[in-house]
Structure 1
Amino acid sequence: MSLELRNVGWSAGFKKIIEDVSLSVKPGEFLGLIGPNGSGKTSMMSVLSGIRPPSTGQAFLDGKEMKKVGRRNLARQIGFVEQQADTIDRITVREAVSLGRTPYLSLLTPWSTNDDRIIEDALIAVDMAEMKDRIWHTLSGGEKQRVHIARALAQEPTYLLLDEPTNHLDIRHQLGLLELVRRLQLTVVAALHDLNHAAMFCDRIAMMDKGRLIAIGRPADILTPENLRDVFGVRASVDADDQGRCAIRFHTSITTLADIKEGRVA
């Protein structure tokens, strides 16, 4: 089982957003996607999820080109939680999660007790079962994110893709959400803004810059002071262990790209 990009590019009009990206996601891993704003992370997630077909190159799901898989089958295998997913409908938590069963329903396959069980299991997995009758608009940001993940779990996916899942959450909910995701028995790809979160929770990290994938590997191998300086324009110290995990300590002095280019920083 694999999710793979081969020499993928994606353009918006005449502007190249992603260029020549090759990436293979390992079964069962938590892969973090990092990079500065505008580096192409969200576009990469859309291509990986099958929402956007590549402009060049190929995207594969379990060895088959995604464009030949079909939308319904893609939705059964890939659960995608976008950054700004919301609704204006007055629906309950359970109704929101039940939308994840849509790829499995048809005139010949109506709703069943099995669908009820799957919804309940998804709610339990994200610790929202006791809130299933709450109205969507009464939830906090952290609770809404948990419901989004439950909806994705209701799809019974092999792959869970998350685009900036901790945006607008306080630190407690950020850590709780990522710990929840790490416990799931799924292959996870998450675009993350906080580099220390990537270091704490990810098995591997893919670093992007200007639409290109420039490095991929264990957190300690990717989150080096040199990479942080060259890609993010920040000065930092990194404490790494022998398991490939690390913690970043940022320095308060500001580094500009001009400083880097002119060799004014170490």
Structure 2
Amino acid sequence: MTLELRNVGWSVGFRKIVREVSLRVEPGEFLGVIGPNGSGKTSMMSVLAGIRAPSDGVALLDDQPMGKVGRRNLARRIGFVEQQADTIDRITVREAVSLGRTPYLSLLSPWSGMDDEIVANALESVAMGGMADRIWHTLSGGEKQRVHIARALAQQPDYLLLDEPTNHLDIRHQLGLLELVHDLPVTVVAALHDLNHAALFCDRIAMMDGGRLIAIGTPADILTSKNLRDVFGVEADVETASNGRCHIRYRVGGALDMDVETKKGRVA
């Protein structure tokens, strides 16, 4: 069971957004993806999820190019929760999660009791079983994110990919959501904005800048004062605990002015 990018690039017109990224996701891990705004995280995640085809290189699922896997099979293997995913439809929580079963349905395989059970289990996994009959628009931001994750889990994927899942949530719901995801029995890849969250929950961290993957390793290896200064333009002290986890303490007045050439390297 493998998910991998080999020398992947992705472009819009003549503009390179992702450049020569090689990355292999290890089974069972929680891999965090970090980088400044415009570093290419979202675009890289979309390629990794099979949503976008690479302009260069190849994205592989079990050593097979994703273009040959087929959309239905990709949707069964990879669950992708995008930033600020929403719906304008007046649907219930149960109906929203039921959409995750779409890759398994056909004229020969209609909805069954097994699908009901899978949806119910997905809702219970994110502690939303008691809200199955609630209307989508009555939910809070944190509740909606849990439903999006339940929808992805209803796909019964091997990989769960999350693009900045804690955006717009208060700190309690941020921590609760990441704790929930961390304990799920799937391989997780999450683009994260908060570096201390990455340090706390991730087994490995991939750091991006200017569309490139510039480093990958344990939180203690990646979240160094030098990397934070060079990539994020901030001065910070990093404390490493005996268990290998680390905590970042930002210095007041420690934001640096990035030079002009560095700013030019940022991509959408």
Q: Tell me, yes or no, if structure 1 residue 225 matches structure 2 residue 217.
A: no
Q: Distance in 2 between matches of 1:260 and 1:97?
A: 45
Counterpart position of 1:208: 208
Counterpart position of 2:157: 157
The secondary structure found in structure 2 opposite 1:108 is coil
* CA offsets 1:101-146 (integer angstroms, 9 cap, x no match): 0000000000000000000000000000000000000000000000
* CA offsets 1:134-182 (integer angstroms, 9 cap, x no match): 0000000000000000000000000000000000000000000000000
- Counting only pairs closer than 5 Å after superposition, residues 59-78 of structure 1 correspond to structure 2 as 59-78=59-78
Shift in Å, 1:258: 3.5
Please report the TM-score for the alignment, with normalisation by the length of structure 2. 0.96
Structure 1 residue identity aligned to 2:91: I
The secondary structure found in structure 2 opposite 1:120 is helix
Distance 1:138 1:60, change over 3 A: same
Q: Where in structure 2 are there 5+ consecutive unaligned residues?
A: 263-268
Counterpart position of 2:186: 186
* CA offsets 1:22-80 (integer angstroms, 9 cap, x no match): 00000000000000000000001100000000000000001111110000000000000
Q: Distance in 1 between matches of 2:260 and 2:232?
A: 12
Structure 2 residue identity aligned to 1:12: V
Q: Where in structure 1 are there 5+ consecutive unaligned residues?
A: 262-266
Q: Distance in 2 between matches of 1:111 and 1:175?
A: 35
Q: Distance in 2 between matches of 1:202 and 1:242?
A: 16
The secondary structure found in structure 2 opposite 1:116 is helix
Counterpart position of 2:39: 39
Residue-pair matches, total: 261
Instruction: Tell me the percent identity.
Output: 76
Counterpart position of 1:175: 175
* CA offsets 1:209-259 (integer angstroms, 9 cap, x no match): 000000000000000000000000000000012433100000111211139
> CA contact under 8 A between 1:239 and 1:248: conserved in structure 2?
yes
Superposed CA RMSD? 1.2
Q: Distance in 1 between matches of 2:259 and 2:17?
A: 23
Counterpart position of 2:237: 237
Q: List structure 1 segments (4+ residues) > 3 angstroms apart after TM superposition.
A: 258-261
Q: Distance in 1 between matches of 2:192 and 2:152?
A: 18
Q: Tell me, yes or no, if structure 1 residue 20 matches structure 2 residue 20.
A: yes
The secondary structure found in structure 1 opposite 2:122 is helix
Q: Distance in 1 between matches of 2:82 and 2:261?
A: 34
Distance 1:44 1:259, change over 3 A: closer
Q: Larger deviation: 250-259 or 125-134?
A: 250-259
Q: Distance in 1 between matches of 2:211 and 2:235?
A: 22
- Counting only pairs closer than 5 Å after superposition, residues 51-90 of structure 1 correspond to structure 2 as 51-90=51-90
